[in-house]
């Protein structure tokens, strides 16, 4: 496993670990539309199956990505060996040309004359023999390099083809992972594993009253979302935040009617009372994750437990219009997107 793979594995979110933020107690206003959860009695097995499917999809994607990185590393190593071999071949070629010149000027009658004129003919003979040996050894090495360069070129072509195939497989695994995340968003769940958020797609210009709300909302709200909002939802699911969530709302103010907001329940089955214990920890971790990945996702603001967070401003006091868990956001984390 190369260094890039190790770093990426190490960067994966916790599995069961707690990353808690401490928020001051506070107070401001928003009304949250409640979507009644489906029947919990016959949904639990579906949720567990959906979570397992997502976990498997994530593992398949990561394995495919690891294989792609390994192939790319092999290609880099071959390229480095190719460059070094080409350089060595050029140097040997120069040496052999020098040897050929020396040999041609010290052969036949010239060699004999040189030996006879030498103070010690034996030394001259030894020098010529050494020169011949070096020429032969360099020629043998040059032939080896020529053969190896041909092998490298063939291997590079094979690797190029294999990398292209593996890139397609990795893309398919990523699509399957995201599809599993969409399905889990609709069914709910309780656990998953995956990397930190990948960058959001580029914001697209929109016309009319759609506000760019072009993607199907996979949550029970069953509306539409902007591509960036759908991406954020999928990434949250992949990172392990797989409890009940509702996004689109057809009426009201704010980002919900524009397909730019999602409400992530702190409880597995739907919106309940004030979060406590494990449910509170879940909300804390989710809020922390959204903030840590706000730049990559394109987050506009986050609301959680009577607090609102804006990029560059940090957490500020927030209270709902009705003083209940939904408007105070003590039972869910609200996410709004810039586009």
Token reading at 315: 């957490």
Q: Does 215 lie in the same domain as 333?
A: yes
Q: Does 149 lie in the same domain as 247?
A: no
Nearest to 58 by CA among 175, 187, 227, 189: 175
Q: What is the pLDDT of residue 15?
A: 31
Q: How far apart are CA 253 and CA 29, in angstroms?
A: 12
> Is 19 within the bounds of a domain?
no
Q: Does 225 lie in the same domain as 291?
A: yes
Question: What DSSP state is assigned to residue 88?
Answer: H
Q: What is the pLDDT of residue 319?
A: 79
Q: How far apart are CA 243 and CA 48, in angstroms?
A: 11
> Is 321 within the bounds of a domain?
yes
With the C-alpha atoms ordered 254, 258, 261, 262, is the resulting torsion angle positive or negative? positive
Of 117, 144, 173, the one marking the end of a domain is 173
* Greatest C-alpha distance within the chain: 115
- In this structure, how many other beta carbons lie within 10 angstroms of the beta carbon of residue 233? 27
Query: Where do we find the tokens 């509170």?
Result: 280
Nearest to 337 by CA among 311, 295, 289, 300: 300
- pTM confidence score: 0.54
With the C-alpha atoms ordered 166, 169, 174, 175, is the resulting torsion angle positive or negative? positive
Helix and strand element counts for the chain (H, E): 7, 8
> Is 87 within the bounds of a domain?
yes
For 250, the domain range is 25-34+42-59+189-337
Q: What is the pLDDT of residue 85?
A: 80
> Structural domain tally of the chain?
2
> Is 179 within the bounds of a domain?
no
Q: How far apart are CA 142 and CA 226, in angstroms?
A: 61
Enclosing H/E stretch for 84: helix 44-105
Q: Does 313 lie in the same domain as 213?
A: yes
Nearest to 332 by CA among 299, 278, 287: 287
Q: Does 195 lie in the same domain as 155?
A: no
Q: Which residues pair with 336 in a beta bridge?
A: 261, 301
> Is 8 within the bounds of a domain?
no
Query: DSSP readout, 129-173?
Result: HHHHHHHHHHHHHHHHHHHHHHHHHHHHHHHHHHHHHHHHHHHHH
Query: Where do we find the tokens 């029970």?
Result: 220
Q: Does 126 lie in the same domain as 235?
A: no
Which class for 173: exposed (0-12), middle (13-18), buried (19 or more C-beta within 10 A)? buried
Enclosing H/E stretch for 317: strand 314-317
Nearest to 320 by CA among 329, 333, 332: 329
Q: How far apart are CA 338 and CA 311, in angstroms?
A: 11
Q: Does 199 lie in the same domain as 82?
A: no
Q: Nearest 5°: CA angle at 333, between 330 and 336?
A: 135
Q: How far apart are CA 35 and CA 270, in angstroms?
A: 8
Per-residue pLDDT of the chain (339 residues; tens, 9 = 90+): 443 443 343 333 333 333 333 333 333 333 333 333 344 444 445 555 666 777 788 788 888 888 999 888 988 888 888 888 888 777 777 776 776 666 666 554 455 555 545 555 555 555 555 556 556 776 777 777 787 788 888 888 888 888 999 999 998 988 887 777 767 665 544 444 345 677 777 766 655 566 688 999 999 987 899 999 999 999 999 888 989 999 999 887 789 999 999 999 999 888 999 988 899 889 989 998 999 899 999 999 999 998 899 988 888 888 777 789 999 899 999 999 988
Q: Does 195 lie in the same domain as 158?
A: no
Of 126, 144, 173, the one marking the end of a domain is 173
Q: Does 169 lie in the same domain as 244?
A: no
> Is 125 within the bounds of a domain?
yes
> Is 66 within the bounds of a domain?
no
Q: Does 212 lie in the same domain as 157?
A: no
Of 132, 149, 173, the one marking the end of a domain is 173
Is there a contact between 187 and 120 (Cβ–Cβ < 8 Å)?
no
Q: Does 286 lie in the same domain as 232?
A: yes
Q: Does 195 lie in the same domain as 304?
A: yes
> Is 262 within the bounds of a domain?
yes
């Amino acid at each position: 496993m190369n260094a890039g793979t190790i770093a990426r594995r190490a960067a994966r979110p916790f599995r069961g670990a707690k990353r808690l933020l401490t928020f001051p107690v506070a107070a401001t206003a928003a009304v949250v539309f409640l979507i009644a959860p489906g029947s919990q009695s016959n949904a639990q097995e579906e949720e567990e199956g959906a979570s397992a499917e997502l976990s498997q999809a994530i593992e398949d994607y990561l394995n495919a990505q690891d294989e792609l990185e390994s192939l790319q590393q092999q290609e880099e190593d071959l390229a480095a060996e190719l460059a070094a071999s080409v350089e060595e071949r050029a140097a040997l070629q120069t040496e052999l040309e020098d040897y050929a010149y020396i040999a041609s000027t010290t052969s036949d009658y010239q060699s004999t004359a040189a030996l006879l004129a030498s103070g010690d003919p034996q030394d001259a003979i030894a020098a010529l023999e050494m020169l011949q040996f070096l020429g032969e050894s360099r020629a043998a090495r040059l032939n080896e390099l020529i053969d190896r360069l041909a092998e490298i070129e063939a291997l590079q072509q094979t690797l190029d083809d294999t990398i292209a195939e593996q890139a397609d497989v990795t893309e398919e695994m990523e699509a399957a992972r995201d599809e599993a995340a969409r399905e889990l968003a609709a069914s709910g769940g309780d656990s998953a594993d995956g990397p930190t958020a990948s960058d959001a797609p580029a914001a697209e210009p929109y016309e009319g009253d759609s506000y760019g709300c072009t993607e199907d909302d996979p949550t029970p709200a069953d509306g539409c979302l902007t591509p960036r909002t759908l991406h954020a939802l999928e990434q949250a699911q992949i990172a392990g935040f797989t409890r009940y969530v509702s996004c689109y709302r057809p009426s009201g103010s704010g980002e919900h009617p524009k397909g730019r907001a999602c409400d992530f329940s702190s409880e597995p089955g739907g919106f309940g009372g004030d979060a406590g214990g494990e449910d509170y920890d879940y909300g804390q971790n989710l809020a922390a994750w959204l903030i840590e990945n706000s730049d990559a996702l394109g987050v506009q603001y986050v609301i959680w437990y009577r607090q609102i967070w804006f990029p560059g401003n940090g957490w500020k006091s927030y209270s709902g219009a009705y003083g209940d868990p939904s408007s105070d956001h003590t039972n869910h984390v609200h996410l709004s997107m810039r586009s």
